Amino acid sequence: MKSIKLAIIGGGSSYTPELLEGVIAEAEHLPIKEVWLVDIPAGERKLHIIEALAKRMIKKSGLLIHIFATMDREKAIEGADYVITQFRVGQLEMRRNDEYISMKHGVIGQETTGAGGFMKALRTIPVILEICKEMERLAPDAWLLNFTNPAGVVTEAVLKHSKIKVVGLCNNPINFYKKFAAVYDVPVEAVRIHFTGVNHLIWITELYIHGQSHIQDVLTGQSESYEAANIPNFDWDMDFLQSLGAIPCGYHRYYYQTDTILKKQRAGYKNKKTRADQVQKVEKELFELYQNPELDRKPEALEQRGGAYYSEAAIQLMKSIHLDTQHIHTLNVRNNGAISCLPESACVEVNCIVEKHKITPLQTSEPSPQIRGLLQIVKAYEELTVEAATTGNKGIAIQALTLHPLIPSADKAKEILDDMLAVNKPYLNWN
Amino acid sequence: MKSIKLAIIGGGSSYTPELLEGVIAEAEHLPIKEVWLVDIPAGERKLHIIEALAKRMIKKSGLLIHIFATMDREKAIEGADYVITQFRVGQLEMRRNDEYISMKHGVIGQETTGAGGFMKALRTIPVILEICKEMERLAPDAWLLNFTNPAGVVTEAVLKHSKIKVVGLCNNPINFYKKFAAVYDVPVEAVRIHFTGVNHLIWITELYIHGQSHIQDVLTGQSESYEAANIPNFDWDMDFLQSLGAIPCGYHRYYYQTDTILKKQRAGYKNKKTRADQVQKVEKELFELYQNPELDRKPEALEQRGGAYYSEAAIQLMKSIHLDTQHIHTLNVRNNGAISCLPESACVEVNCIVEKHKITPLQTSEPSPQIRGLLQIVKAYEELTVEAATTGNKGIAIQALTLHPLIPSADKAKEILDDMLAVNKPYLNWN
Amino acid sequence: MKSIKLAIIGGGSSYTPELLEGVIAEAEHLPIKEVWLVDIPAGERKLHIIEALAKRMIKKSGLLIHIFATMDREKAIEGADYVITQFRVGQLEMRRNDEYISMKHGVIGQETTGAGGFMKALRTIPVILEICKEMERLAPDAWLLNFTNPAGVVTEAVLKHSKIKVVGLCNNPINFYKKFAAVYDVPVEAVRIHFTGVNHLIWITELYIHGQSHIQDVLTGQSESYEAANIPNFDWDMDFLQSLGAIPCGYHRYYYQTDTILKKQRAGYKNKKTRADQVQKVEKELFELYQNPELDRKPEALEQRGGAYYSEAAIQLMKSIHLDTQHIHTLNVRNNGAISCLPESACVEVNCIVEKHKITPLQTSEPSPQIRGLLQIVKAYEELTVEAATTGNKGIAIQALTLHPLIPSADKAKEILDDMLAVNKPYLNWN
Amino acid sequence: MKSIKLAIIGGGSSYTPELLEGVIAEAEHLPIKEVWLVDIPAGERKLHIIEALAKRMIKKSGLLIHIFATMDREKAIEGADYVITQFRVGQLEMRRNDEYISMKHGVIGQETTGAGGFMKALRTIPVILEICKEMERLAPDAWLLNFTNPAGVVTEAVLKHSKIKVVGLCNNPINFYKKFAAVYDVPVEAVRIHFTGVNHLIWITELYIHGQSHIQDVLTGQSESYEAANIPNFDWDMDFLQSLGAIPCGYHRYYYQTDTILKKQRAGYKNKKTRADQVQKVEKELFELYQNPELDRKPEALEQRGGAYYSEAAIQLMKSIHLDTQHIHTLNVRNNGAISCLPESACVEVNCIVEKHKITPLQTSEPSPQIRGLLQIVKAYEELTVEAATTGNKGIAIQALTLHPLIPSADKAKEILDDMLAVNKPYLNWN
């Protein structure tokens, strides 16, 4: 089996040690020989902290894996077999702006959905398409595994504007598998989940444990074997769940509990303690830890950062592709009819069969109107977002925001967009 | 040609004189011989005022048309060729409740959309399905022309739960034809409009005058021949229209200008001058006029009531059916693929070819994401509303309201529903 | 109303006098001022016979219509409003070859279907696409009305490879309207027929007379008011019709009665009296008649030629387009979902609403498996035929013929194709 | 893991020893404890020969598997976990009739396609639906694995008329996997094949070896690593294959080489040596072998019978279901959109993911017109065949046969059907 060159764009991210831990753990099956960490000058300091930690981790493992850290992205991409993208355009400072401008206008401020996610997509899509162009030149057969958020929108942009083989990844699905395995005290292999939706807006429409359907346990809360309490953020009203007929994910709260979330966010906004503020703090602490020359493994503190099983999702996917396993993964891919009520060309997050030559989404069952209506409007918003990001058309940007269920009007959309464009000028090439 | 028996359910409505004016004007082509006005005991006084006025109008015309007023609905339906429904369950008093409860909870209060339209649908659907059962027994080949609002949702309920031939009507499309004919100073026949959408949420995607496309006149406001000022309520931002790529209808303001409308409504709510309050006043004045024994024609004051060309839409449709004209009308019918992104079984408002034996919707062009996203979520809300109304399932009712873009959360949906159900108890058969 | 320039390509055809008769009869509504008759040098003699007859006909009518005869096709097309194509590449001699080569190999030899229709398509498509290129340059807004057979396949080639507005015409549908009007003794306007299919393979799935369904009369032969005998070639077995559930057209006999037809054709083949032989004789006689300087109207003998109502179909369509009538015509147009089991891009023959700016096919009902299976295989054959004709790919040509239900194997397809290509070399640009 | 009861209907078949060999070989993973062999009185002698052989085989294996032989089908079905159907209504004698009547009328006589397959379907479907009713009562959660031919049509009848979980099996796909593994000298796991089609009419649209596409090797015959000679019956013309763009299966010869096959069959028919005659002879010899009391394993002579890997297909499928492996098998299942140009409710033969709770077909790529046309007409024929078999409607039976590409006309269809119905009277309940 051919050895693997892996390029990680955004290699200076605090998440990288988790990914490396996975690389080391699966070294027996996945012959990664080179790991290239890429970052931009603004991230140079962090990149070298990570590089040093990575080298200590590899050394401890005794494996023959070479770590390279560079700001020359093309060099890292050239001849790579897999490219993982986990970069953040404008870093946490711009995330903070996304949140604060949203809240200033009275709407939910969040990294991946609503006005915040929209602005992040506008900043990110031009960069990922540049990376794809480089890949088309320097590594045309490589797979692009995209973690950069909003992962569904960013992946859709690549699917529509590049020929590179791409797949979008999120730890949301794998978390559900792990949780249900724990709740029912079975191995993960015994858990089967049918997902339908798009990234950060997936519904579970079926749950099987050892081949038996158990979704009613969750929807009614009536099974002894099932304890909702174990599932974090699972505070749904049981009547609501029952009539929904499906299990929502954590991000559904922005839509189903908009007023409650908004209230909480306003408090954070007033106290200058939004999620971005918190993450900045955690990040700073992590890098202090990482600099410890004694540290030669992923510190536990990283788990609080929110990326649990993120490494496992990526490494297992690379294994399935590389070893041609035909295993099922829940991924962001071109719809191709898997969700019949969405456009063929849209990016969806569903179960897929992974083969070396191809990733094939599995047909989902016809969604109920409860699911369908919200899913369709959010997908239409995402399509317009991709169009706005790739054309720089301000009118389309306003249409995208106006359509979003969390934005109350076209006028408000325009005001928010104007403020956001002003702050993001350095990252955009718009008129 | 066989003579026609016409039954008007809600015959005591202030709109009836307009309808009679149409019946008289088209008597040469449409051989209506009997008009049955039906109402309920609570509307008896109004029914007899209308009856007397109707008789005076017929007398003046010199035509041999018999007017019957009755509270025995089955007698009116028996052997009818056309049944027009224009009733209002709970009368204007309940409309007022719909508006006030909505506004109490901080959401838009409106007769046909949002929480108000939802509640009106719940009250109305059981009654129209009773009427359909009577028709199945007493006039199985009659056409049901439904004006009762929310006309799209009510018509969908009939399409899904009865075998009666039904079509939903609204004066919104015919108003557009008349306005554009006036704006361009051409006969109405020279105007061709492509509509896509559902009742009270239709977009104009194409406009032809004498075979030439003129939609850009409206979207850019740049043609001399076109004066937007002539189109009432047409105060859209030109940039917004241009990127929307279609002409919205008046009801779109509830979605595209939610915050502005809400502000205005709140003022009306505080002063006890909502739309229902205004309509109650107009209605009272109209009935005073109608009682004048000298009056033998439709008074001009009726036009202010908002139903312009309502009669013309109904009479022209009956003519097309009866004379088998193959003319195009814009109607609420079963989708059957005319709007490819909506379910086959959904009720849509589109151009249709009218033949004696069948009304066939014309295929519309693929809607843009701008249109599609909003259209799909509102249609899914409508499907759930029909399901809630026909099953009395409170969970489905909450799902319907939660999905509606004008309702901010599942919790709010629940609170609004509880208040509404309490007030509407006499009209519903729910547990 | 703007006056009309009409170009007729294949103007020297024996059919042209019928078309002129129609132009004259409708002159009041359709202001045709110039008629350009175009032909190639090989048809020069015939062209001038037709020109002279045309001028006598116009003179008799007293109308101000100018007749031009030319071999300069571009001059005729320049500025035309409508271009009618009725040419025959290789003239009747090549039709004779198509029939004889087919029969030599033991398969049905016919002008529009099977191997014969296939070869005619290969010869014709390059020429019509040349015409379209000229139109794109010289008359980009003109409508192309195509009568050249196989009309469905030729029209599909234009739909797929040109931007010219095109519609394919056949007298098959109008003949059915006329026949049923005669059978039921009602005006044609009282007859409504639902067609589904492709050119020369249409099924009638519904028949309404004055708004009442009468198809069972035909399918069971049990109604007194209906006499099948009046419909020419209508010798179907009643049990077969009943289980088919639809009325086939005359060309269905090639598929449903293959062995019987083949037997008859073999007799004609032996005696050198195939259909092409007969038509050559009729044609010769017609041109002798046409040369009579006393003749100033369409001679009755033309009707035997098989093109009854052909003129009426064309002239009525031009009227509907020009006057923007919104009338229904049965035409060959892009499917766009009208027949849900065929590709969107395929050419189908169905009822259409005709407006000045657009011709819109009406949605047909879901075809039964009886209809669907044959329709789908013939359409796939047609798609491959268009592909073969536009690429000159011999492999695709063999696939097309192999797929055709009248060709028994890939080997036979290859043999037939080889023979046909040899004879057609002058008309093709294949390797 | 729960132990398994397996019922084999048609247990007296000469194929049964192969199946038992598989049961024994996989006993470690698949805990089958009871095997019930069921047959009808006419097969009693054979049943007991098989029973005795089976017991000798089990004894030799040292396993604790109980063999039961019975003519009481209900007893065998009661509580079964898997029911395998491999029966033949009317035994080989009726197969012989199917072939001889077909050939008498000049059409291909074959067990599973054309008139022969049609008649076998009519005889078989009523019996399998009886079995399903017994299963619904006595083993409602059991899986039905159907081998009885025509396997696709018979499975479609069960899918449409029973609630039993059913899957149709054929050794055609597994043979391709084995052949390509041998040709490329790789393990079977390294071979990936994309199939599209229906039973006995599948095309290979993609072939991957170790993740690399190799289909062009086969289509062009130009790769050194590939030797077509190793694939039995693979005598396709290379030009034909190249323009087909896919690899046909052996049964395609009936359609693509109809005249050649017919010629060969006619020779066999004259000499009374059709396939049925041959199989009867082989069968007789096999049962002589089976009676040998020394024989305690599957004799090699069985392989000539044509069912290679038949056992492996069945046992591996049971393993995947029972162990919930998520492996891919090529199976006959409800389409559900996997082949987008066929009805959702049709039975198709495609790759499927097998889980304990569900078998999910994988979406196939859009078929080319070459494939699509033939596939669609054969599927429409199959749908009509299921309808004819379940309604006993002779008209529908004639429509089915008329539509079949191997039958030349409706008249011929009628003649063949009349002859076949006369002979099959004892097996049918038609009027």
Range of the domain at D84: 4-168
Q: Which of the following is catalytic: D251, D254, D269, D381?
A: D251
Instruction: State chain C's mean pLDDT as an integer.
Output: 93
- DSSP codes joined into one string, D183-209: HHT--GGGEEEEEEEETTEEEEEEEEE
Q: pLDDT by residue (tens digit) across A248-272?
A: 999 999 999 999 999 999 999 999 9
* Secondary structure (3-state) at D422: helix
- List Cα–Cα distances, A184 to A148, B187, B250, in angstroms: 32, 72, 53
How many domains does one find in chain A?
1
| Residue D73 is assigned to a structural domain of this protein | yes
Burial class (CB in 10 A: 0-12, 13-18, 19+), C427: middle
Q: Which residues of A touch B (CB under 8 A)?
A: 237, 239-240, 242-244, 256-260, 341, 369-370, 372-374, 376-381, 383-384, 387, 393-396, 398-399, 402-403, 405, 408-412, 414
Contacts of residue D55, defined as CB under 8 A and 6 or more positions apart, other chains included, come to D67
User: Which residues in C lie closer than 8 A to residue D410 (C-beta atoms)?
Assistant: 237, 240, 256-257
Q: Where are the beta strands (DSSP E) in C122-244?
A: 143-146, 165-168, 191-198, 201-209, 212-213
pLDDT of residue D310: 85
Put simply, the answer to whether B363 touches C336 (Cβ < 8 Å) is: yes
The per-residue pLDDT of chain A, averaged, comes to 93
pLDDT score of B49: 97
Q: Which residues from B are below 8 Å from A259, CB to CB?
A: 408-409, 411-412
- How confident is the model at residue C223, as a pLDDT? 63
pLDDT of residue A226: 58
Identify the pLDDT of residue B309.
86
B345-386 tens-digit pLDDT: 999 999 999 999 999 999 999 999 999 999 999 999 999 999
In degrees, rounded to 5, the angle at the alpha carbon of residue D389 between the alpha carbons of residues D387 and D394 is 85
Sheet holding D4-9, edge to edge: D66-70, D32-38, D4-9, D82-85, D143-146, D165-168, D327-334, D347-355, D358-361
| Residue in the structure block whose two tokens are 């809630």 | B388
Q: Closest to B357 (Cβ–Cβ): which among C208, C326, C328?
A: C208
Model pLDDT, residue A224: 56
pLDDT at D153: 98
Strands B143-146 and B212-213: unpaired
| Mean pLDDT confidence for C335-360 | 96
Work out whether the CA dihedral C227, C233, C238, C244 comes out positive or negative: negative
pLDDT digits (tens, 9 = 90+) for A377-407: 999 999 999 999 999 999 999 999 999 999 9
Band (A414; pLDDT cuts 50, 70, 90): very high
Decide if A122 contacts A397 (C-beta within 8 A).
yes
Amino acid C132: pLDDT: 98
Tokens for C157?
């080639």
Q: Is-contact A115 A109, C-beta < 8 A?
A: yes
Q: Is residue A265 within 8 Å of A103, Cβ to Cβ? A: yes
What value does the mean pLDDT of chain B take? 93
Read off the pLDDT band of C310 (50, 70, 90): confident
Closest CA to A175 of A348, A352, A308: A308
Gap between the Cα atoms of B208 and B191, Å rounded: 6
pLDDT at residue C306, rounded to an integer: 65
Q: Which of D429, D411, D404, D338 is closest to D116 using CA atoms?
A: D404
More confident residue, A346 or A273: A346
> Considering CB atoms only, which of C239, C240, C403 is closest to D374?
C403
DSSP D276-312: HHHHHHHHHHHHHHHT-TT--S--GGGGGGS-TTHHH
Q: Please provide residue C416's backbone torsions phi and psi, each rounded to the nearest 5 degrees.
A: -60, -50
pLDDT at A299: 84
Residue C91 one-letter amino acid: Q
- Mean pLDDT is lowest, of B281-285, C88-92, C230-234, for C230-234
pLDDT of residue B226: 58
Give yes or no for a contact between C361 and C333, defined as CB atoms under 8 angstroms apart: yes
Residue C106 lies in a domain: yes
Answer whether A8's CB lies under 8 Å from A301's CB.
no
Mean per-residue pLDDT, C407-420: 96
C170 annotated to a ligand binding site: yes
Evaluate whether A48 touches A122 at the Cβ level (below 8 Å): no
B34-59 pLDDT per residue, tens:
999 999 999 999 999 999 999 999 99
The string of pLDDT tens digits covering residues B150-185 is 999 999 999 999 999 999 999 999 999 999 999 899
Report d(CA C177, CA C171) in Å as an integer.
10
Is residue B300 in a domain? no
D213: β partners: D208
Sheet hosting strand B82-85, strand order edge to edge: B66-70, B32-38, B4-9, B82-85, B143-146, B165-168, B327-334, B347-355, B358-361
Taking residues C107-126, what's their average pLDDT? 96
- Torsion angle defined by CA atoms of residues C199, C202, C207 and C208, in that order, rounded to the nearest 10 degrees: -20
Instruction: List beta partners, residue B144.
Output: B83, B166
Measured distance CA(B171)–CA(C242) in Å, rounded: 45
φ, ψ for residue A301, nearest 5 deg: -55, -25
pLDDT > 90? residue D132: yes
Q: State the pLDDT at residue B299.
A: 84
**Cβ burial C347-378 (10 Å sphere, 16+ → b, else e):** bbbbbbbbbbebbbbbbbeebbbbbbbbbbbb
Q: Place D224 in a pLDDT band, splitting at 50, 70 and 90.
A: low
pLDDT tens, residue by residue, C35-88:
999 999 999 999 999 999 999 999 999 999 999 999 999 999 999 999 999 999
pLDDT value at residue D303: 72
Which residues of C lie closer than 8 Å to D, measured between beta carbons?
Answer: 237, 239-240, 242-244, 256-260, 341, 369-370, 372-374, 376-381, 383-384, 387, 393, 395-396, 398-399, 402-403, 405, 408-412, 414
Out of D256, D374, D409, name the one closest to residue C257 (CB): D409
Distance CA A251, CA A236 (A): 12
Q: What percent of chain C stands above pLDDT 70? A: 96
Within 8 A by CB and 6+ apart from A45, the residues are none
CA distance A335 to A327: 18
Say if residues A157 and A386 touch (Cβ distance below 8 Å): yes
What's the Cα-to-Cα distance from D89 to each of C361, D92, D93, D101, D310, rounded to whole Å?
49, 9, 10, 17, 20
pLDDT of residue A78: 98
| Nearest of B89, B83, B75, B88 to residue B162 by alpha carbon | B83
Contacts of A364 in chain D (CB under 8 A): none
Report the pLDDT value the prediction gives residue C253, as an integer from 0 to 100: 93
**D277 belongs to a structural domain:** no
**Does any domain span residue A213?**
no
Q: Tokens for A332? A: 């962001």
Give the ranges where D105-171 is alpha helix by DSSP (H): 114-138, 151-161
Chain pair C-D, CB pairs under 8 angstroms = 122
Residue A301's pLDDT band (cuts 50, 70, 90): confident
Q: Which residue has the higher pLDDT, B294 or C225?
A: B294
What is the arithmetic mean of pLDDT over C398-402?
98
Q: Is C324 close to B210, i.e. CB distance below 8 A?
A: yes
**pLDDT band (50, 70, 90) for residue D306:** low
Q: Does residue D352 fall inside a structural domain?
A: no
Residue B307 scores a pLDDT above 90: no
Confidence of residue D237 (pLDDT cuts 50, 70, 90): confident
Q: Residue D112 maps to which CATH number?
A: 3.40.50.720
Query: Is the predicted pLDDT of residue B232 greater than 80, yes or no?
Result: no
D251 among known catalytic residues = yes
Is residue C72 in some structural domain? yes
For A117, list phi and psi in degrees, rounded to 5: -65, -35
Taking an 8 Å cut-off on Cβ atoms, the answer to whether C327 and B324 are in contact is: no
For residue D292, give the amino acid letter.
N
Is B200 within any annotated ligand binding site?
yes
pLDDT confidence tier of residue D228, bands split at 50, 70 and 90:
low
Mean pLDDT of chain D: 93
C394: nearest CA in chain D? D243
Q: Do chains C and D touch (3 or more CB pairs under 8 A)?
A: yes
Q: How confident is the model at residue D233 (pLDDT cuts 50, 70, 90)?
A: low
Q: What is the pLDDT of residue D396?
A: 98
Q: Which residue of B has its CA nearest to A261?
A: B409
In whole angstroms, give the CA distance from residue B247 to residue B348.
17
Instruction: State how far the Cα of B32 lies from the Cα of B29, in Å rounded to an integer.
Output: 9
pLDDT tens-digit profile of D399-429?
A: 999 999 999 999 999 999 999 999 999 999 8
Q: How confident is the model at residue A200 (pLDDT cuts 50, 70, 90)?
A: very high
Interface test with B, best of C81, C358, C359, C364 (most B CBs within 10 A): C358
Half-sphere exposure of C164 (CA within 13 A, CB side): 33
Whether B289 maps to a domain, the answer reads: no
